[in-house]
Structure 1
Amino acid sequence: MVTNAISAALTCVGPGDGFEVRRVLRRKPAAGEIEVAVAAASVNPIDVRRAQGYGRRLLSLVGAGRFPMVLGNDVAGTVSAVGNNAGAFKIGDLVFGVKPPSVEGTHASHVLVKAAHMLSAPRGWDLQALAALPYSFVTMWLAVRDAGLTRQNAAGKKVLIHGAAGGLGTLALQMLSRWGSQVTAIARPPDFAACRQAGAAEVVDSSVKPFATLSRAFDATLNFAAWEDDLSLLGCLRGGALGHATTVHPLLANFDELGWLRGALKTFSDKRSHRAALPKGTQNYAWTAFRPDAAALQELRQSVEHQRDGLSIGLRTPLASAGQAFDHVRSRQRGRALILPE
């Protein structure tokens, strides 16, 4: 690696204060790390919210709460430097993967990542398009597992997915239908066809009181849409169900809005009241949060190697125009938004 080499980084200046492309010194990879020359990094809804200050209090515990910060949790590109004990990766390898929440995220021309959180890019895939998958896939897989579903037990299970047309929902439809589950999707009418194509056996209109038409018949429910609907989803579980997981819980917001003590008490109260609403014998209830996970990454590896799952790309924009990508996600436009350093 060239001494004093420079990276361009999309820097979020402060809560709601917008972005600047800043030049920063590239550091040598530490043991277990590789440096990736970024081909693309995706913008996820959590990035849009963190740019406004969301989650600062709790994320400060892992060094991810201070401004200015570089956002982004998934990436695809080319290995440009390798630290000691970084596995089999070598300079020039094409890779994709994830990075935990930090203030040195993947919205940059070069990024340091743990080798254990990266996968080799398979032949036949658009390298940029691979950047849209890791964060969403890992988060989805964790939620599916938290709800009690596995490859071994999913066949024949009735699963209800709220927010089925989003990134997490689409990937869950693809994976669970492949595992043999009978999946019902809650989505808007313009997204019905896409949900069926992704694997939904049935689609319910989210705009006309969807829970009024659903009975307590489901083995598992997944909430990728709205915390306000969580109790309604619990009401769709049968007695003795596998369980429920939500990725739209108020954990970070509770601490942001109420501070450490009251935030902890509110979180405990929210979880207790929702657990109390579970049908008798339900085994699992979870608030799922993203984190790199070896088993999830292995499932992602198998998925892309067999060209099974994917997400459509709605926007590709250079680093200097990255605000467009954030606007794309904020306004919930179709397809994933990618930032390209060049």
Structure 2
Amino acid sequence: MITNATGVTLVCLGPSSGFEVRSVLRRRPAAGEIEVAVAAASVNPIDVRRAQGYGRRLLSLVGAGRFPMVLGNDFAGTVTALGDNVDAFKIGDRVYGVKPPSTEGAHASHVLVKAAHVLPARAGQDLQALAALPYSFVTMWLAVRGAGLTRQNAAGRRVLVHGAAGGLGTLALQMMSAWGASVTAIARPPDFAACQEAGALEVVDSSSKPFATLSRTFDATLNFATWDDDLALMGVLRDGALGHATAVHPLLANFDELGWVRGVLKTLSDKRRHRAALPKNARYAWTVFKPETPALQELRELVEQQRVGLPIAIQESLAGAAQAFDHVKKGRRGRALILPG
């Protein structure tokens, strides 16, 4: 225990029960961990859904399904304590990083996190801007890899990004363009300019039957929009395409709604049906977030090159966190941050 040291957390009490700010006794970091005083933490769509009970059955397998819980996966701040066997950081370092799903998330004044899941922030880098990136970037990177794309093979590939104006889509446009891919975005007309600024060479209107205007010429497709469009996205892959990945699959919902046995059967059926729509030898992936060292390394490189970033729309204290959650729940533009200080 860190002697007499306390912090505060934003506790989600359960569906329809709201939030409560609680004082907690801080724990000493375990071996390989660091403690970070949180300057800012993101509210991501998954936080909003988990606050409503989404994913509890499957997430319970990793100890992340029980209320009350502290939500939040990504953060930025300053190192305040080191566990044994940590030599990459020192107390006072500015950092940003990500936590796997748990009930002890980043919506708190202090967070314990594996040092391997943390990146250094240079002097002068905006910690609030950095806090908006890790969870979305890692999730996006996993989808890109699942579709068969890498930094080494992306140059010149035709890539279609559905849901291109959201956090995942914006980061995909930025990373894919940095890698030299030719990216087409699907988005609403008010978001066309933002997509082009992020790196899209072409933008297709999502509100006017977008797939009817697209031919089977794409090397990879990424779905960050809706499961209902998943089969249509695969329909524009060319013969010999790399593959398709979706971050909006029904995995967690299948188990929530159907239980263990029927959830497994429904998931297997969904995957089998969608794989059958792929061109021969193309890859198919459902993206499930988890911290990945190569993804974090790619994030660090692109941050240093100033090639990635997300707009921040709202910043709230722990006491005002309900407003940040409401911003995300209503699908408003820009990122929502919680500033525990």
SS in structure 2 of the partner of residue 296 of structure 1: helix
SS at match of 2:65: coil
Task: Within 5 Å, give how 1:43-192 maps onto structure 2.
Answer: 43-192=43-192
One-letter amino acid of the structure 2 residue matched with residue 304 of structure 1: V
| Conserved 8 A contact 2:2-2:27 | no
Length, aligned pairs only: 341
Secondary structure of the residue that 1:299 maps to in structure 2? Answer: helix
Structure 1 residue 123 displacement after superposition: 2.9
Tell me the distance in 2 between the aligned counterparts of 1:9 and 1:331. Answer: 24
Contact 1:159 1:182 in 2 (8 A): yes
What does residue 260 of structure 1 align with? 260
The question of whether the paired residues in 2 share the 8 Å contact of 1:187 and 1:204 is answered with yes
Mean CA deviation greater in 34-43 or 81-90? 81-90
Residue 207 of structure 2 aligns with an amino acid whose one-letter code is: S
Unaligned regions of 5+ residues in structure 2, if any?
none
Q: Please report the TM-score for the alignment, with normalisation by the length of structure 1.
A: 0.98
The answer to whether the 8 A contact 2:185-2:200 is kept is: yes
For 2:301, give the aligned amino acid. Q
Distance in 2 between the 1:225 and 1:11 partners? 29
Find the aligned partners of 1:141 and 1:280 in 2 and give their Cα distance.
24
Take 1:183 and 1:54, find their aligned partners in 2: how far apart are those partners?
32
Normalising by structure 2, we get a TM-score of: 0.99
1:157-178 CA-partner distances (Å, limit 9, x unpaired): 0000000000110011011011
SS at match of 1:320: coil
Q: Which residue of 1 is the match for residue 242 of structure 2?
A: 242
Percent identity among equivalent residues?
A: 78
Give the distance between the partners of 2:239 and 2:293, measured in 1 at CA. 32
Q: CA deviation at 1:325?
A: 0.5
Answer whether contact 1:87 1:115 (CA < 8 A) is retained.
Answer: no
CA contact (8 A) 1:161 1:223 kept: yes
Match for residue 207 of structure 1?
207
Distance in 2 between the 1:97 and 1:261 partners?
36
The residue identity in structure 1 corresponding to 2:156 is G
Counterpart of 2:235 in structure 1: which amino acid?
Answer: G
Query: Partner of 1:97: helix, strand, or coil?
Result: strand
Which letter maps to 1:64? A
Return the letter of the residue paired with 2:316. T
Q: Could you list the per-position Cα deviations for residues 90-142 of structure 1 after superposition, in whole angstroms to 9, with x for gaps in the alignment?
A: 11110000000000000000010000000001233211111000001111111
1:291 and 2:286 correspond: no
Q: Which residue pairs with 2:309 in the alignment?
A: 310
Moved over 6 A (4+): none
What SS does the aligned partner of 2:319 have?
Answer: helix
C-alpha distance in 1 between matches for 2:135 and 2:155? 25
Alignment partner of 2:96: what SS?
strand
8 Å Cα contact 1:146/1:285 also seen in 2: yes
- Tell me, yes or no, if the aligned pair for 2:34 and 2:83 is still in contact at 8 Å: yes
Return the alpha-carbon distance in structure 2 between the equivalents of residues 89 and 146 of structure 1: 31
Question: What displacement does 1:2 show?
Answer: 4.8
Cα deviation digits, residues 134-155 of structure 1 (max 9, x gap):
0011111111011000111101
Aligned partner of 1:274 in structure 2 is: 274
Aligned partners of 1:34 and 1:115 also within 8 Å = yes
**C-alpha separation in 1, matches of 2:233 and 2:98:** 30
Q: Given the alignment of the two structures, is residue 323 of structure 1 paired with residue 290 of structure 2, yes or no?
A: no
Matched-pair contact (CA < 8 Å) for 2:223–2:245: yes
Contact 1:75 1:97 in 2 (8 A): yes
**Residue 87 (structure 1) shift:** 2.7
Superimposed CA distance per residue, residues 199-255 of structure 1 (whole angstroms, 9 cap, x where no aligned partner)? 000000001111111111100000000001000001010111000000000000000
Are the counterparts in 2 of residues 55 and 256 from structure 1 also a CA contact under 8 Å? yes
Contact map agreement 2:2 2:28 (CA 8 A) in 1: no
Offset of 1:16 from its aligned partner?
Answer: 2.5
Shift of 1:4: 2.5
